[in-house]
Amino acid sequence: MSEDSIFSKIIRGEIPAQKLYEDEGVIAILDINPLSEGHTLVIPKEPASTMDELSDDSAAALGRALPRICRAIMMATGATSTNILQNNGKSAGQEVDHVHVHVIPRFADRSSGAGLSKTWTPGKLNADEGADLGRKIARLL
Ligand code: AMP
């Protein structure tokens, strides 16, 4: 649990943030170190550290708020696209120990782009291994 995280303190109003949205389940704030104009964090109020710890109700609140927040950011900034990014756990680069979703606006007409680049180096799924792994995960759901 992450009741001492900086985001829990923002949710409780103990430290300031540029708040864009709040409902009973989530808040949305501007990222203090934006990768692009309008970079926003959508944060469940539940003090879960990582997505796998989040309750269904908080996950639903997060999912419900995201499209509306994306639309508002795009309209306000003129962004043409967004990246939705969620770092989940230390080995995935998560720095703040409280679930949050990044909404990172992208701009077709800005040559500077965002401070984010997509450098995926994909492999190829082996059909047999994929079938085994797929069944193994599906059994746990
Ligand atoms: P992550 O690496 O996914 O944990 O990202 C944490 C994000 O939180 C970074 O983009 C930080 O810039 C942002 N952040 C940290 N502290 C604050 C704060 N007080 N207000 C707004 N954003 C913050």
Q: How far apart are CA 1 and CA 122, in angstroms?
A: 33
Is there a domain that residue 20 lies in? Answer: yes
Atom 5 in ligand 1: residue holding the nearest Cα? 95
Q: Is-above-0.85 flag for pTM?
A: yes
Active site residues: 100
Sign of CA dihedral 41, 45, 51, 57: negative
Q: Is the CB of 122 under 6 A from ligand 1?
A: no
pLDDT digit string, tens, across residues 75-91? 999 999 999 999 999 99
Q: Is the CB of 51 under 6 A from ligand 1?
A: no
pLDDT digit string, tens, across residues 32-69? 999 999 999 999 999 999 999 999 999 999 999 999 99
Q: Is the CB of 94 under 6 A from ligand 1?
A: yes
* CATH label of the domain that carries residue 11: 3.30.428.10
Is there a domain that residue 111 lies in? Answer: yes
By CB neighbour count within 10 A (0-12 exposed, 13-18 middle, 19+ buried), where does 77 fall? middle
Q: How far apart are CA 84 and CA 116, in angstroms?
A: 12
Domain that holds residue 74: 6-116
Pocket test for ligand 1, best of 6, 18, 88 (most atoms within 8 A of CB): 6
Closest by Cα among 22, 5, 23, 26 to 14: 5
- Which position has the token pair 């908080």? 58
Is there a domain that residue 137 lies in? Answer: no
